[in-house]
Structure 1
Amino acid sequence: MFGGQQPILVLSQNTKRESGRKVQLENINAGKAIADVIRTCLGPQAMLKMLMDPMGGIVMTNDGNAILREITVQHPAAKSMIEIARTQDEEVGDGTTSVIVLAGEILAVAEPFLHQQYHPTVIIRAYREALEDIIKLISTDLSIPIDVKDRSKMAEVVKSCVGTKFISRWSELAVKIALDAVETVTLNENGRLEVDIKRYAKVEKIPGGTIDESCVLSGVMFNKDVTHPKMRRYIENPRIICLDCTLEYKKGESQTNVELIGDQDFTKMLQIEEEFVKKICDDIIAIKPDIVFTEKGVSDLAQHYLLKAGITAIRRLRKTDNLRLARACGATIVNRTEELTEKDVGLGAGLFEIKKIGDEYFTFVTKCKDPKACTILLRGASKDILNETERNLQDALHVARNLVLEPRLVPGGGAVEMAVSLALSKKQIKGPYSAVAQALEIIPRTLTQNCGANTIRTLTALRAKHASHSGDSICAWGIDGESGEIVDMNVKGIWEPLSVKMQVYKTAVETAILLLRIDEIVSGSKKSRDEPTNPAAMAAQHE
C-alpha cells in the first residue's frame, strides 16, 4: 500500500527552514564575524581581550582558543568556527588565532563565486586541490630541517612563538622553562620518541613574588604537608615508597552486620582492627623507607607506628601527582603493602623538603637524578596574570614538543604564506583555486594592520620581494610584527614549526569546505509563550 510513496520531510508550524544560497552566504558572514573578533590578537602587537562571565569572573587574554571558549554564540556555523580553535589547540597547542583568521578569509573569498552562480562543489574541488598543493609545497620546498640538539636554534623558534604573547617581556625565561621541561619529559622507548607534557610537566601556580622567580624543578612539587607534626620535614637522599592503598582500618563493605553480645566482643573487634593496621605498618617498616606517599588516608594509629620508626607520611595525593612522583624518583606505585619489595623503592630523589610559601605548605621532591617528570613553578602578582602566563607557557611547551617530534621549520612573519600564495598563483588556474592564494595573504596583511603600518604599500613591496626572488634558498621576506617593516626572517630569526603551519592550513581549508557544503539549516525552535496558537489570531496579527 505504501510501497510507491516517497518519504516526506514533515516540518511543524514552529520549525524554521532556510536553504540554498542564502544559508551559504549566512555561514560565510558568521565565519567572517568570528574572524573579525580574533583578528586584532595576531602578532607581537596583539591586543588583549577582557572577557567577563555571568558570575563576574574575568579573563584577560589574546589566546584565540581561550577567547572563543568564553564567547556565547547562537549561529551553528559560528559554533563550528569555535570548534576549530579547540582542535588546533589540542592537536599542536599553537596557531589558534591564525587558523580562525585564515578560515574566515577562505570563506570570504568564496562569496563572489557564489554570487556568480558557481556551484559549491566546484569551489570545494578547487579548495581541495589547493590544499594538496600547499601541503606538498611546505613539506618540501618551503621548509628546512632543524637539529634538535642545537639549543640556540630551538630557543629562537620558541622565542618567536612567545613573542606574540603577554609573557614576551620575560621571553628568555619562558623559552628556558619550555625547553628544560620538554627535555626533561622526553622519553625514547624502542626508538620511538614520546613527549607527554600534559601528564608529566605540571604547571603549579602560586600567587605572590614576580614572574622572574618562576622555574622548572628537577623533580615534583605539590600542595601537601606531613600528616603528623613531629614527622621529619627535611630529608636528603630519601628512600621513597608510593602507595595506592589506605593505611587505615579495613572498612566493611555495604550491608555489613556485626553482632556484638558482650563488651569483650567489642574489645576483640577493636583489637583485630589495631592488629590489621600494625601489620600494614610492619610491611612498610620492613622496607626501611624514609617517606611514604599514599593516594588514600592514613589513620592516627598508622601515623603513630610510622613516626616511631622515623618514617614521614603524606596522604591523599592526587593520582596524577603520584604518577609524576613515581616517574621522577624511580619508584613503583604499589597497591598492597604485603607486595612491597626493595625494587619498588624510589632512590632517584636527592632532597625532600617542606616549605611554607604564603599561607600554604608545599612538599618538594627535587634534585632527582633522571626525573622524566617535572613541575613548572609559576609565580606572579595575581591569579589573572598567572592564568595568562600559564596559557602562554602551554603554547611554548607545545611548540618545543612539536619540534622534537617533527624537526622542520618554516619562516614566520607571513613569509611562508606569501611564498605559498605566489607558488599557487604561478599555476595560473583561474577561479576558486587562485582565490585560496589570495586568501593566504590575510596573515601578512593582518600583521601589518596590527602594527599600524600602511597595508597596501607594505603588501605590494612584500609581493615584489617574493616575485623577484630567485635561487635555491627559501624566500624568507616577511613582516616584522613590531614595526610593520619588511625584513628577512633569516636575519630576524623568526621561525615556526612545520607541524603548526600544516595543521593551520588543513583545519582552515577543511572547515571552509564543510561550511560551504551546508545548503539547509532546519531548526525546531520552541514556541514563545505570547505567540498566538489559533490560526485566526495569527491571521489577525498579520493584518
Structure 2
Amino acid sequence: MQQGSILAVEGERESGDAVRKNNITAVMSIANTVKTSLGPEGLDKMLVDELGDVTITNDGATILKLLEVEHPAAKVLVELAELQDQEIGDGTTSVVILAAELLKNASELVKCKIHPTTIISGYRLACQEACKYINEHLSLPVEELGRECLVNAAVTSMHSKIIADDALFFADMAVEAVLSVKRTNSKDQVKYPVSAINVLKSHGKRAKDSLLVKGYALNCTIASEAMPHVVKDAKIACIDFNLQKQKMAFGVQVLVNEPEELEKIRQREIEMTTEKLKLIVSSGANVLLTTKGIDDLYLKYLNKEGIMAVRRCTKEDLKRIARITGAELLSSLADLDGNEKFDAHMLGHAEEVAQEWVGDNQLILIKGSKAHPSSSIILRGANDFMCDEMERSVHDALCVVKRVLESGMISPGGGAVEAGVSVYLEKLASRLESRNQLAVAEFARSLTVIPKTLAVNAAKDAIDLLAKLRAFHHLSQTDNSKLHLKWTGLDLAAGVTRDNVEAGVLEPTIGKVKCFKFATEAAISILRIDEHVRLQPENKKDPHSYQEAYRTGQLG
C-alpha cells in the first residue's frame, strides 16, 4: 500500500505466488466440503442458517448456495455449481471437484516455472479433445436403447439421493412426467420443459405413496364452497390484483357536508371493483384465478354467476398456468387509452378445472390445457427435511431425462468417461512436441479424481480399482477386439469394475461435456489471476483521496 500519492490505490495488494496460493487454498476448501457427498455412497451435509433453519442434503449446488462464501476465488466455484445446475440439473458436485483438481495440478506446473499462459492453452486443447472423444467414442444414441435408458439415467441420478431405495419407482414417474409435457416450438425443435411439471409436497405416508397427476395441480382450494367444484370447457382468467373494495389513495382528503354524500362515496368504492368483475364475466370467463384476495361481497356476486374463483395463488403458479392455457396474466385492466377492458382473447382454455382430493389434501387440477400439456408430481414424506430433499432429487432426475431426450445421446457412468478420456489424453500428450504436453498430461491426471473419489466414498480400495479401470480402457483403445471394454466403469456396491452400459448406469452425454467445459473455464479464470487488490472503503475527509483532492481544487 502506497501513501502520500493522490493517485495511489488505497488498499491491500497481493501478487505472484502468494495470491495464487491463497486462491488454490480457498478453492480446495470448497471442493473438500462437497467431495464426500459424491456418488451413490456419498454422505449428506447438515446446514444451519442464522435463523436456525436446517437443510439436510447432498446436492452440490444446494450445499454451496447455503454456504456463506466470502473469498472471491471460492465464489467462482459457487457460481460454477449454479451454472451446471441451471444447464444440466445434475453433476454439480463433479464439476466443482474437477475444477479444483485442475487448478491444483496447474499450480504444480507453475511451481516448475511453466508460464500460466502455456498451461491455459494446454488445458483448452485438452478440453476440446476430451469433448470430441466423448461425443465420438463414449456415447450411444438413445434410439438404440429405447425408453429403458431414460429410466436408467434417472435411476443413476437418484442413486446418491435420499430416495435411492425407491429410485426405480421415482425414475419411472419422472420419465412419464417429462414425456407428457412434450412440445414442438416454432423451429420444429422438440422440447421438454421441466417448468411445465409442478412438484408439490405433502406430509404423511411413505415416499412410495407419491403419485403422478395428469394436469397442473394448484395447491389451493376454491374461495367458497357454494361455487362449482368442477368446470368443464374452462375459460380461465388469470389476474394479479385485488378484488376488494377500492380505497382512496393515501393522503387524499375529501370534505363531506352531508351524510348522504358519504354513503355515495362508499357505494362508488364498491361499484369500481364490481365493474371490473362484470368486464371479466362478460368475456365468458367461468374460472377466476388471482394472486391477491377476494372480498366476501364479490364472492357473493361470483357465486351468483356460477364462477369458480381461487384466491391467494402464487405468482409463479399463475405464470405457468397462463403459459400452458394460453391466458394473459394481467396486473391491471387498464389499456393504453386509460379505459378498462377485458377481452375473450385474454382467457386461457382447458378441458376441465376441478377441485379434487389428492392424498390428504384438496387441490385444484387443471386438465387438458389447450396451449401446452402439463403434469404434476405429488411427493409424500415423513417431514419437511425429507420432502425438501425428495423435491431436489426428483428435480435433478427430471432435468436428466429432459437432457437425454433433447440431446439424444447417453454415456456410461461410474467414472467410465473420466477414465477413458484420461487414458486418451495421456497418449495425446506423448505425441505433442510443445510445452502444451505438460498441461495436457496434468489435465488427464486431474480427470482421475472423479473415479478415485467415488471409490473412496464407497470405502473401497481406490488405487486398485483405478488401476484396473485404466488398464481396461487402455486395452479398449489399443486392441480393436477389446473395444467393448470402453464402457467399463465402477460397481461401487461390489467394489469391482463392470460394463456400465449393460448394468444401466447411464448419464446424459451433454452433462459430461458441459462438466468438462465449465470446470476448465473456471480453472482457467482463476489461474489467470496474478494480483489481488482489496480496496479500502472510501474516506471522504481523507486529504489523500482522489475525490477530496478534486473537490478542494488540488487537481484543477
Shared fold (TM-score greater than 0.5)?
yes
Q: Give distance in 1, aligned partners of 2:201 and 2:401.
A: 21
Counterparts of 2:102 and 2:175 in 1: how far apart (Å)?
35
TM-score (norm 2): 0.84
Tell me, what secondary structure is at the counterpart of 2:190?
strand
Tell me, in whole angstroms, the C-alpha distance in 2 between the residues paired with 1:342 and 1:217: 28
Query: TM-score under structure 1 normalisation?
Result: 0.86
Residue of structure 1 equivalent to 2:78: 82
Task: Give the aligned partner of residue 413 of structure 2.
Answer: 412
- State the match for 2:513 in structure 1: 502
Deviations 1:193-232 (A, max 9, x none): 343324x323222222221122232122333333334333
- Pairing partner for 2:319 from 323, 328, 331: 323
Alpha-carbon RMSD across the aligned residues, in angstroms, is 2.9
2:365 aligns with 365
CA distance in 2, matches of 1:85, 1:345: 37
Asked whether the 8 Å contact 1:222–1:362 carries over to 2, the reply is no
Letter in 2 for 1:68: L
Query: Among residues 454, 461, 474, which one is paired with 2:468 in the alignment?
Result: 461
**Distance in 2 (alpha carbons) for counterparts of 1:225 and 1:369:** 19
Residue identity opposite 1:10 in structure 2 = A
Asked if residue 344 in structure 1 is aligned to residue 347 in structure 2, the reply is yes
2-structure distance, mates of 1:459, 1:153: 26
Query: Does the residue aligned with 1:339 lie in a helix, a strand or coil?
Result: coil
Q: Deviations over 1:18-77 (max 9, x none)?
A: 221232233223322222222211111111122222322222111111122222344332
The alpha carbon displacement at 1:83 in A equals: 2.3
| AA partner of residue 419 (structure 1) | G
Residue by residue over 1:279-317, the C-alpha shift from the partner in whole angstroms, topping out at 9 and shown as x without a partner, is 444445546654322334333332222222333322232
In 2, Cα distance between equivalents of 1:316 and 1:183: 30
Amino acid at match of 1:476: W
Note closer, same or farther for the CA distance 1:261–1:510 as it changes in structure 2 (3 Å cut). same
Work out the CA distance in 1 between the residues paired with 2:493 and 2:150.
Answer: 21
Range that drifts further, 39-48 or 175-184: 175-184
Task: Note if contact 2:106-2:442 (Cα within 8 Å) is conserved in structure 1.
Answer: yes
2:455 aligned partner, one-letter code = T
Distance 2:358 2:415 in 1: 47
Question: For the Cα contact (< 8 Å) 1:241–1:332, is it kept in 2?
Answer: no
Number of equivalent positions: 514
Q: 1:117 to 1:373 in 2, by over 3 A?
A: same
Give the Cα separation in 1 of the matches to 2:297 and 2:326.
29
Relative distance call for 1:8 and 1:186 in structure 2 (3 A) is farther
Q: Which residue of 1 aligns with 2:119?
A: 123
**Which secondary structure does the structure 1 equivalent of 2:90 belong to?**
coil
**Cα drift, residue 504 of structure 1:** 0.9
Cα displacement (A) at 1:259: 4.4
Aligned to 1:540: none
Find the aligned partners of 2:145 and 2:327 in 1 and give their Cα distance: 29
1:492 counterpart = 2:489: no
Is this contact kept in 1: 2:322–2:328, CA < 8 A? yes
- Does the CA contact (< 8 Å) of 1:325 and 1:373 recur in 2? no
1:183 aligns with 179
SS in 1 for 2:365: strand
Tell me the equivalent position of 1:266. Answer: 262
Which of 420, 441, 452 aligns to 2:448? It is 441
The reply to whether residue 243 of structure 1 matches residue 238 of structure 2 is: yes
One-letter amino acid of the structure 2 residue matched with residue 436 of structure 1: F
Secondary structure of residue in 2 paired with 1:405: helix
> Is 1:401 paired with 2:399?
no
SS in 1 for 2:486: coil
Distance 1:274 1:138, change over 3 A: same
d(CA) in 1 for partners of 2:319, 2:47: 35
**1:219-298 correspondence to structure 2 within 5 Å:** 219-232=215-228, 234-235=229-230, 237=232, 239-244=234-239, 245-253=241-249, 256-286=252-282, 290-298=286-294
Q: Partner letter of residue 243 of structure 1?
A: C
Structure 2 unaligned segments of length 5 or more: list them.
334-339, 539-556
2:8 aligned residue (10, 14, 17): 10
Corresponding residue number in structure 1 for 2:422: 421
Q: Which residue of 2 aligns with 1:67?
A: 63
